[in-house]
Amino acid sequence: MTFSIGQRVSGRITGIQPYGAFVSLGGHRQGLIHISECHCGYVKDIHDYLKVNQEVDVVILDIDEFTGKISLSIRCLEHLDLEAPAPEHQHRHYWTNHHVAIGFKPIAENLAGWKAEASQRLQHERTPS
């Protein structure tokens, strides 16, 4: 089976370590759910959420092309409701104003001042008191 980032797949947990759970994805392919990706929020003990031989649905976060390691996440699915209909009107908030075409001009205008300020701070930190 060919895997791709963002793909939703099913697998079986084959082993659990303090840092994460190993998931068999079929054939000889295996992925890892890092402890931070097994549940939203703080996870003190991964055994509270996952058990060996448990069937899980996961999302592929990353595939290391050199080593073939696959990073998986359950957390990505916790707030994903695929059955919910899309809202008729969805407000999108943009952090930029598309009517203003200033581009990188503010950065270019302030860059010299920022560099001078950083240089002064660095000199101040190096000067013994």
71 sits in which H/E element? strand 70-73
Angle of CA points 5, 57, 3, to nearest 5°: 30
Tokens of 83: 């059955």
In tens digits, the chain (129 residues) has pLDDT values of: 688 888 899 999 999 999 999 999 988 889 999 999 988 888 889 999 999 999 999 999 999 888 888 999 998 887 665 445 555 555 555 555 556 667 778 888 889 999 999 999 888 888 776
Q: What does the pLDDT read at residue 123? A: 87
Q: Measure the CA–CA gap between 125 and 128, rounded to whole angstroms.
A: 8
pTM: 0.60
Q: What does the pLDDT read at residue 66? A: 85
Beta bridge partners of 72: 33, 60
Q: What does the pLDDT read at residue 124? A: 84
Q: What does the pLDDT read at residue 128? A: 76
